Amino acid sequence: LGSGVSVEGDEATVEDDADGLLGGLDIETTEEIEVPDRLVDQVIGQDHARDIVKKAAKQRRHVMMIGSPGTGKSMLAKAMSQLLPKEDLQDVLVYHNPDDGNEPKVRTVPAGKGEQIVDAHKEEARKRNQMRSFLMWIIIIAIIGYALFFARSILLGILAAGIVFLVFRYLNRGSDAMIPNLLVNNANQQVAPFEDATGAHAGALLGDVRHDPFQSGGMETPSHDRVEAGAIHKANKGVLFIDEMNTLDIRSQQKLMTAIQEGEFSITGQSERSSGAMVQTEPVPTDFIMVAAGNLDAMENMHPALRSRIKGYGYEVYMDDTIEDEPEMRRKYARFVAQEVEKDGRLPHFTEEAVEEIILEAQRRSGRKEHLTLKLRDLGGLVRVAGDIARAEDKEFTEREDVLQAKRRSRSIEQQLADNYIERRKDYELTVSDGSVVGRVNGLAVMGEDSGIVMPVMAEVTPSQGPGEVIATGKLQEIAEEAVQNVSAIIKKFSDEDISEKDIHIQFVQSYEGVEGDSASVTVATAVISALENIPIEQDVAMTGSLSVRGDVLPVGGVTHKIEAAAKSGIDRIIIPAANEQDVMIEDEYKDQIEIIPVQHLSEVLEVALAGEPEKDSLVDRLRSITGKALDRQVGP
Ligand code: ADP
């Protein structure tokens, strides 16, 4: 130990079993893993984006990054600033303009020079003031002496001395006003600047001139001293990063575009009624590389001219959400844990088992077979919560159980809400998980991104006065109609009932805003068939799946979360589309609680879900016989 362990391809440290959760990495704790210095080397996955960033830094091109939050966009933008030459950095000074006090002059000098110039001015002003003070005291003493000796009036002496004092103060202030304002100071900058202007208001982005409450009478602050740099000026020779570009108001976007085009931008007061609005500096350099980020939506709502500007003079790159789960990648995820621990600075390093648990979570959160999630901000959050738990207990290292506890704690708002619903429904016994009921099916829905919820569906079929209608409660009308339409073709063939002459009422029990229902069509179909044929449905079963017109059960999203929600609600069995079997990554604690039944066809769903032997068997048989072709195609001979 002691010496650093290299993550990439260091033979000595890689065990034989590259199949292990750590991809063969042989460590006891993450302390042994070396974290690369450069940010660009710390980025995990996103190879494409990383290449682009390297290339764009070399060519000084703008970049647009599109992708989910927390996948490394700002990290890459920052990494880009580290790749830019530091030699080019400049300081910017603003000087009083004796010809026009409202148009301060702007001068650019090499980085580090700015401070020297200001210091020199200060020193000069100090000397001048010293000289003046000296002169002033001599005059004051002379006046008082004169007044006492000749006029014999101390009052007259003090009055005269006071006037002299004020005159000199005014002169000193005048010489202070000659000191330039160091607007941008890069003296201590080790790398090119990185400015994050996400959500910045106009002043913070474009610069501002402060209001002066005393606009005259010798009390005013000279205008050049009230000038403040915006992110576009601070980012000069570096990187300006803006996430969620579309939230920037259109006027600011237009001005941003001007700054990009001209490479310089004057500073003026941003609030119209302030005295700062009268001031406008000479142009201040804004020679930055723009990295604009956001999701697809943000890009579409961005000012078209600005977008085409970036596009025309740069690159657009899409960020990955997941990456293939390979031994090398797992070793990098171990390094990720080390990176996050070191970045935080206070967390205990992780033991091997604790890292394994993080990698399992990365698999689970990817929602795809043999993939790891790249939403690493959230995963980093888990690392921090786990580390904090260990730290609170004064542990030397963060252990597996800390990670497990952190997982329970660091649930998203949606998950917490969903759990809350599950609890409350149990109280009111809204989730029925035993017995059998006609027309009622335990469906499943996804809430937010990462939590499932049991959403029962009830169907009732009544004779219609006119043409049959599908009547659903709430926003799920469309889904209900589509599901009924899909199932009606099948029903027509095997049932004597003509559903086009019936009203079908569908109720999504306790559905609420934010629930996605596109995966409910198998549920709706099952409820309708049960109601139509008057055959009860087992309530210890929950189901999810989409339905084709031929009765094929098609894959849906969020299966893992749905299964976990069903298990938490006390459901014993869950029907999922066979095509989703590979996406199941439920946590160990649920594995014994629930039986997962993958199906390919609606007839299989009914076989599992319907109760009451004779009716059910005949129904399933009929369904099989009419849709046999579809089944053959899927199952094979
Ligand atoms: P975004 O800008 O895409 O919302 P960030 O770059 O701000 O995401 O990521 C937040 C944090 O998450 C980073 O500081 C880093 O700790 C971690 N992170 C995100 N993506 C990656 C990645 N691809 N590799 C390593 N760490 C990452």
Question: CB of 46 closer than 6 A to ligand 1?
Answer: yes
Distance of CA 72 from the midpoint of ligand 1 (Å): 3
Question: CB of 45 closer than 6 A to ligand 1?
Answer: yes
Residue 216 has pLDDT above 70, yes or no: no
Q: 473-492 in b/e burial notation, b at 16+ Cβ within 10 A?
A: eeebeebbbbbbebbbebbe
* Model confidence pLDDT, tens digit, residues 71-84: 999 999 999 999 99
- Give the atom of ligand 1 at the shortest distance from the alpha carbon of 340: 16
Q: Select the highest-mean-pLDDT range: 459-463, 472-476, 507-511, 606-610.
A: 606-610
User: Measuring from atom 11 of ligand 1, which residue has the nearest CA?
Assistant: 377
Question: CB of 180 closer than 6 A to ligand 1?
Answer: no
* Model confidence pLDDT, tens digit, residues 222-255: 889 999 999 999 999 999 999 988 788 888 999 9
Q: Which of 47, 73, 75, 339 to mutate to test the pocket of ligand 1 (most atoms within 8 A of CB)?
A: 75
230, 208 Cβ separation under 8 angstroms: yes
DSSP-derived secondary structure for 319-387: PPSEEE--HHHHHHHHHHHHHHHHHHSSSPPBBHHHHHHHHHHHHHHH-STTEEE--HHHHHHHHHHHH
Question: CB of 73 closer than 6 A to ligand 1?
Answer: yes
The predicted pLDDT at position 4 comes to 45
The predicted pLDDT at position 430 comes to 56
Average pLDDT, the chain: 85
Distance of CA 374 from the midpoint of ligand 1 (Å): 9
Distance of CA 380 from the midpoint of ligand 1 (Å): 8
Question: CB of 570 closer than 6 A to ligand 1?
Answer: no
ipTM of the complex model: 0.98
255, 204 Cβ separation under 8 angstroms: no
Question: CB of 75 closer than 6 A to ligand 1?
Answer: yes
Return the CATH number of the domain spanning residue range 420-635. 3.30.230.10
Confidence of residue 146 (pLDDT cuts 50, 70, 90): confident
Question: CB of 71 closer than 6 A to ligand 1?
Answer: yes
Question: CB of 25 closer than 6 A to ligand 1?
Answer: no
Distance of CA 228 from the midpoint of ligand 1 (Å): 30
The predicted pLDDT at position 628 comes to 54
The predicted pLDDT at position 264 comes to 96
Q: Give percent of the chain with pLDDT exceeding 70.
A: 88
Question: CB of 389 closer than 6 A to ligand 1?
Answer: no
| Phi, psi angles (nearest 5°) of residue 393 | -100, 10
Distance of CA 195 from the midpoint of ligand 1 (Å): 16
- Give the atom of ligand 1 at the shortest distance from the alpha carbon of 374: 23
Q: Which of 7, 33, 376, 384 to mutate to test the pocket of ligand 1 (most atoms within 8 A of CB)?
A: 376
Please give the single-letter amino acid code of residue 178: M
- Give the atom of ligand 1 at the shortest distance from the alpha carbon of 77: 6
Question: CB of 241 closer than 6 A to ligand 1?
Answer: no
Distance of CA 375 from the midpoint of ligand 1 (Å): 8
Alpha helices in 193-300 (DSSP H): 202-206, 231-234, 250-262, 296-300
User: Measuring from atom 12 of ligand 1, which residue has the nearest CA?
Assistant: 377
220, 271 Cβ separation under 8 angstroms: no
Residue 515 has pLDDT above 70, yes or no: no
Q: What is the mean pLDDT of residues 184-197?
A: 93
Superfamily the domain 63-112+185-313 falls into: P-loop containing nucleotide triphosphate hydrolases (3.40.50.300)
The predicted pLDDT at position 511 comes to 60
561, 593 Cβ separation under 8 angstroms: no
275, 324 Cβ separation under 8 angstroms: no
How far, in Å, CA of 339 to CA of 318, rounded? 24
Confidence of residue 307 (pLDDT cuts 50, 70, 90): confident
Least confident of 86-100, 292-306, 372-386: 292-306
Higher-pLDDT residue of 579 and 214 is 579
Helix (H) or strand (E) holding 437: strand 436-438
Least confident of 130-144, 160-174, 565-579: 160-174
The predicted pLDDT at position 455 comes to 84
- Give the atom of ligand 1 at the shortest distance from the alpha carbon of 43: 24
Least confident of 188-202, 393-407, 479-493: 479-493
The predicted pLDDT at position 327 comes to 92
Question: CB of 13 closer than 6 A to ligand 1?
Answer: no
* Model confidence pLDDT, tens digit, residues 426-462: 555 556 677 888 989 998 888 766 778 888 888 888 8
Distance of CA 335 from the midpoint of ligand 1 (Å): 14
Question: CB of 373 closer than 6 A to ligand 1?
Answer: no
The predicted pLDDT at position 180 comes to 93
Q: Which fold has domain 1-31+322-410?
A: Helicase, Ruva Protein; domain 3 (1.10.8)
Residue 631 has pLDDT above 50, yes or no: no
User: Measuring from atom 21 of ligand 1, which residue has the nearest CA?
Assistant: 72
- Give the atom of ligand 1 at the shortest distance from the alpha carbon of 78: 6
DSSP-derived secondary structure for 476-530: GHHHHHHHHHHHHHHHHHH-SS-GGGEEEEEEETT--TTEE-TT-HHHHHHHHHH
Residue 596 has pLDDT above 90, yes or no: yes
Q: Select the highest-mean-pLDDT range: 73-87, 174-188, 473-487, 499-513.
A: 73-87
Q: Which of 47, 71, 320 to mutate to test the pocket of ligand 1 (most atoms within 8 A of CB)?
A: 71
The predicted pLDDT at position 17 comes to 54
Q: If we measure between CA atoms, which residue out of 440, 444, 453 comes closest to residue 519?
A: 444
Distance of CA 73 from the midpoint of ligand 1 (Å): 7
Higher-pLDDT residue of 590 and 114 is 114
The predicted pLDDT at position 369 comes to 82
Residue 196 has pLDDT above 70, yes or no: yes
Residue 10 has pLDDT above 60, yes or no: no
Task: Locate the domains of the chain by residue range.
Answer: 1-31+322-410, 63-112+185-313, 114-179, 420-635
- The residues that are catalytic are 519, 562
* Model confidence pLDDT, tens digit, residues 369-406: 889 999 999 999 999 999 999 999 999 999 999 999 99
Question: CB of 44 closer than 6 A to ligand 1?
Answer: yes
Distance of CA 377 from the midpoint of ligand 1 (Å): 5
The predicted pLDDT at position 46 comes to 95
